Chain A
C-alpha cells in the first residue's frame, strides 16, 4: 500500500515546523495542507477535535496531534537519520529539555513580548533564568543533541528565528553576546543547516504578523482597564 502522509500546518506555526523538519531530515515525502486558523477546515476539526490546532499528522488515515508526540512517532516509524539517542538515560534527558522548552522557556519569552510593565519585567527575569540553563546545556556541543541536529534542536527551533522577531517588534533584548555566546553560535549553526535553512517562514511576514498581534493585544488590555 502506498504511504499516505499529510501534515496540517500554517505558514508560521513553529510547532508545525518541527514536524516538517523531522520528515524532511528523514527524507520522508508528505503532502502539506495549509490551514487558516481563523477559518479552520472541517478536516482539521475532525482530526484534532480536542485542541483544534496545528500541527496534525495523518498517516494512512490515522491522525496524531501535539508536536512532541508527533516527533516521537516519526522517530519510531522512520528509523533513518535518528533524532533521539539510543541510550534510555540520554533519551530521558532529551525529552526533559524538549518539555522544558515548551513549558518554561516559551511561555516566559512570550510574556516578555506580549505583556507590559511589571508583568513584562517579571517575565524577563524568568526568561533569563531559563536561557541560562540552555546556555549551560550547550557547553562543549555544537547542537543540543551533540554533533548533529536532533529532537531537542527541532524543539528549540523557534528560538533561532522567532526570538529576534520578538526583539525587533517589542524593542527588547532577550539573547545577547555577553550572556549567551553559545546560544547565538547554536542559532547560526541551526539556521544555516541543510534542510533547516530552506524552510524558514518569511521574516518580513513574521514581523508584520507579530506587530499586528502585539498592537491588538495591547489595545484590548487598555480597553479592558
Chain B
C-alpha cells in the first residue's frame, strides 16, 4: 500500500517545524497543507477536534497530534534509518525528560518575553535565560543534546531559534551575549540540511507579528 503522509501546519509554528525536521531527517515524502490559523480548515477541526491546533500528521488517513508525540511516532514507524531517539531505555528517558523541559520552561518563558511588558516581561526574561542556561549545562561539551548525533532534544529546541530575533527585539537583549553556547549549538544544527531547509528566516517570523 502506498504511504500517504499529510502534514497540517503553519510555517511559523515552532511545533510544526519539529515535525518537518523529523520528516526530513527520515527522508519521508509528504504533502504539506498550510493552515490559516484565523480560519481553520474543516480537515484540521476533524483531525484534531480536542485541541484544534497544528501540527497534525495524517498517516494513511489517521491523525497524530502534539509535536513531540508525532516525532516519536515518526521514529517508531520509520525505524530503519536515522534514529531520532537513543536505543537505550535510560538515554531515551533522559531525552524525553529534556524535550519535556523545553515545552515546560522554554516555551512558556519565550511567549511571555514577547507578549508582556514591564515587570512581567522582566520576570519572563529571567525565566527564559535561566531555562537556556540549564540547557547549556545539560549540553556540556557535547556537539548535540543527542551526543555525537542530532536527536530528539535538539529537534525540540532548535525550532525556537527561528524566533530568536523576535525575542531579542521585543525583549531588548542579545541571546549571544547572555548565552553564547546556545548560539554556537544552534549554528551547528543549522548546518544540517533538515534544519536549514525547515526553519524560516528570523526576520520573516518577526514581520509576521508586525
A→B interface (CB under 8 Å): 50, 59, 62, 64-66, 68-70, 72-73, 76-77, 88-89, 91-93, 95-96, 99-100, 133
Contacts and interface: CB of A to CB of B under 8 A. Distances in A.
Task: Determine chain B's interface SS by DSSP, over half rule.
Answer: helix
Interface residues of B, number: 22
Interface stretch (B95-103, B112-120, B200-208): B95-103
Contacts of B50: 100, 133
Contact of A89 (B62, B89, B94, B96): B62
A73 B89 contact: yes
Contacts of B72: 92, 95
B66 A88 contact: no
B210 interface: no
B192 interface: no
Contacts of A77: 89
Nearest to B60: A89
A91 B85 CA distance: 16
A66 B97 contact: yes
Given A76-B92, A96-B66, A88 B77 contact: yes
Contacts, number: 55
A88 B92 contact: no
B66 A73 contact: no
A88 B76 contact: yes
Contact of A92 (B70, B96, B134): B70
A36 to B, nearest CB: 24
Nearest to B77: A88
A118 to B, nearest CB: 21
B97 A64 contact: yes
B76 to A, nearest CB: 4
Interface in B36-81: 50, 59, 62, 64-66, 69-70, 72-73, 76-77
A73 B90 contact: yes
Which of A62, A69, A91, A92 has the most chain B CB within a 10 Å cutoff? A92
Nearest to B90: A62
Contacts of B62: 89
B90 A88 contact: no
A90 to B, nearest CB: 10
B90 A66 contact: no
Q: Which 9 residue pairs across A and B have the least CB separation, nearest first?
A: A73-B93, A76-B89, A88-B76, A92-B73, A92-B64, A69-B96, A95-B69, A69-B97, A88-B77
A131 B17 CA distance: 31
A64 B69 contact: no
Nearest to B134: A50
Given A69-B96, A96-B69, A50 B101 contact: yes
A72 B97 CA distance: 11
Contacts of A66: 96-97, 100
Given A65-B97, A99-B66, A73 B73 contact: no
Contacts of B97: 64-66, 69
26 contacts: A50-B134, A64-B90, A64-B93, A65-B97, A66-B96, A66-B97, A68-B100, A69-B96, A69-B97, A69-B100, A70-B93, A72-B92, A72-B96, A73-B89, A77-B89, A89-B64, A89-B73, A91-B73, A91-B76, A92-B70, A93-B64, A96-B64, A96-B65, A96-B66, A99-B66, A133-B50
